[in-house]
Amino acid sequence: MENIAVLQVGPLMPTVQESIRKDYGAVRLPDGALEQEEFLRTHGPSFAVAVTSGRFGVGTELMRALPNLRAVINFGVGYDTTDVAQAAGRGITVSNTPDVLNECVADTAIALYLDVLRKTSVADRYVRRGDWLSKGNFPLATKASGKKVGILGLGRIGRVIARRLEGFDCDVSYHSRNPVADVGYWYAASPVELAAGCDVLIVAAAGGPGSAGLVGAEVINALGPNGYLVNIARGSVVDEEALVAALLAGRLAGAGLDVFVEEPKVPEDLLSLDNVVLLPHLGSGTHETRAAMAELTLANLRSYVTTGSVLTAAQA
């Protein structure tokens, strides 16, 4: 394929940005709304490929402004910010970077799991403030091993999380759209049933319209005042207002959150709660994993430009 014009949507890793600029002459979409509108009116029809990330994606209006778009190359496993329905209808290929980040995202889930139950971040602050000297021993926390843990979404990442939990002698159960044939974990018929039967609910479901608000008030209430919630999926999967309300009212023991609905904005009420661990969406944030994601992103772009197909097409 020749004369493929490449559009960069949002910031990317410096190595990816430099590579697509140098090798494909990629042009970055302006950040300002007025500048974008003028840019797309003039240049929108020129672009056949967009390279973006899970944070920005190619949304409905942007995709419409790119009438000759043929591929969206996504840095990240999540692509819920891209209008996949419109892409499917127009025959636009969408790629992502699965598998290469499974291990690190699973590690982040376990880190949150341990932190929120054992209160390690709170204890760290306790020492730094001098409270150990002035107030004595830190209050008791909750045992992390041997817990009943439900995983909402037993996909690639969910399976790795489950494998790690086995090392903590946890009793693992799960809910996915369909039972997974080759695992021995107990399958719950619904998110509510899953939450009602576990001490800790780990959310690992894919984002997008189909899973928006999947963990709502009913699920949170089923988890109960002694239950904990960990979310390393997408902020949209959890009803954030219901979660905050439950935490403030003591109807949930605690939460470990790596993702939020309006990132980087975090609900103000969560900032003062010691039973909540807050991370800045760093699930895959290691040097090794981000390098692997960059490599796969560039490989997908190179494959599309040379063959018209990608190595890892996103699932509809």
- CA–chain centroid gap for 292, Å, is 17
List, by residue number, the catalytic residues: 234, 263, 281
List the structure tokens of 99.
């598998």
- CA–chain centroid gap for 9, Å, is 19
Distance, CA of 162 to CA of 217 (rounded, Å): 25
Contact 297, 97 (CB under 8 A): yes
Q: Determine the longest span between alpha carbons in the chain, in angstroms.
A: 70
Nearest to 222 by CA among 187, 244, 190: 190
Distance, CA of 134 to CA of 122 (rounded, Å): 16
Cis previous bond, 267, omega within 30: no
Nearest to 283 by CA among 250, 259, 314: 259
Distance, CA of 144 to CA of 217 (rounded, Å): 25
Nearest to 78 by CA among 60, 61, 102, 62: 102
Q: Give the count of beta carbons closer than 10 Å to the beta carbon of residue 210.
A: 11
